[in-house]
Copies of this chain bind each other. A is one copy, B any other.
Amino acid sequence: MNTNEINLSNSGLILSKIVHGMMRLNTWNYTKKELLKLIEKDIDIGVTTFDHADIYGNYTCEKIFGEVLKDKKDLRRRIQIITKCGIVLSKKNHIKYYDTSKEHIIKSVETSLKNLNTDYIDLLLIHRPDPLMNPNKVAEAFNELKRDGKVLHFGVSNFTSQQFKMIESRLNFPLITNQIEVSPYNLSNFKNDEINFLMKKRVNPMAWSPNAGGLLFKPNDEKSKKLNNVLNEVAKELNLNSIDKVIYAWILNHPAGILPIIGSGKVERLKIAIDSLNIKLTKEQWFKIYTTSLGHNVY
């Protein structure tokens, strides 16, 4: 394991500390060759983990990615694939409802395997906490998928601690991540104690929208403007030429061991995140960003 890698929640699953998000893969308009090149560049700089979901790109992203794997069978062993299930989209690409039934989970994974041209998923997540979720049925699906080698590890996304504990109570193995929103702009998972819950359980969170969907670069409200200023100040103090690295370092400096998911189609952006692994903020810098986001000092 090199310094760019993490043994996720001590599960044995080695991921890159920076995860490449595939949510908008369909919009990058890459040829198969270009996408292969992107993946290989990712691997070169130390990004080997790719985050998918059945529904990304209105059910198209996994397929686009899988086209590359089809021709390059050796590539599969050099990367780790995360995917998700549990949301059902309407034909208009809106969320209709959640489905965490045993049948849906298994069917969704089988479709993912086919689309991705692989025979295993490294890490499967339930995409959202379904209010109609039956933990017994989720466990049955997970057990069957694990037994058949179709999925190696399991986690959740956007779950509260109570929901996390409910699912885990039915399993003989631990859930190894909760993919949640974390950014200097969005402190909700600090405020609701979810990050502390995961630290208590020694579970590494993954952070979606680590730069608040671009808002921290193009601020459009008072909070994002103030944050943008402070991020620039800190960047200057650290002799960094852009605030991206400050944002990622702010997340990476947290002791929970958070893996940011970077959803860009440009390897340069991933390289920025990788470089951030070596940046150390002072406590004063970290708190300046935190309290600016809070809107008040700690007291």
Q: Which residues of A line the B interface, CB within 8 A?
A: 88, 94-99, 101, 128-129, 131-137, 160-163, 165-166, 169, 190, 193, 196-197, 199-200, 253-255, 283-284, 286-287, 290, 297-299
Contact = CB atoms under 8 A, between A and B. Distances in A.
Contacts of A165: 200
Given A160-B193, A163-B193, A193-B163, A135 B97 contact: no
A138 B38 CA distance: 42
B134 A255 contact: yes
A196 B96 contact: no
Contacts of A199: 135, 166
Given A97-B284, A132-B254, A166-B196, 17 more contacts: A88-B283, A94-B297, A95-B299, A99-B283, A101-B283, A128-B298, A131-B190, A132-B253, A132-B255, A132-B283, A132-B286, A132-B287, A160-B196, A161-B162, A162-B193, A162-B197, A166-B200
Contact of A196 (B162, B286, B297): B162
A165 B166 CA distance: 15
A157 to B, nearest CB: 12
Copies of this protein in the assembly total 3
Given A162-B161, A193-B162, A200-B165, A255 B133 contact: yes
Contacts of A197: 162, 166
5 contacts: A96-B287, A131-B190, A132-B254, A162-B197, A166-B197
A133 B196 CA distance: 9
Contacts of A166: 196-197, 199-200
Q: Which 3 A-B pairs have the closest CB atoms?
A: A134-B255, A97-B287, A162-B193
A28 B128 CA distance: 46
A161 B163 CA distance: 13
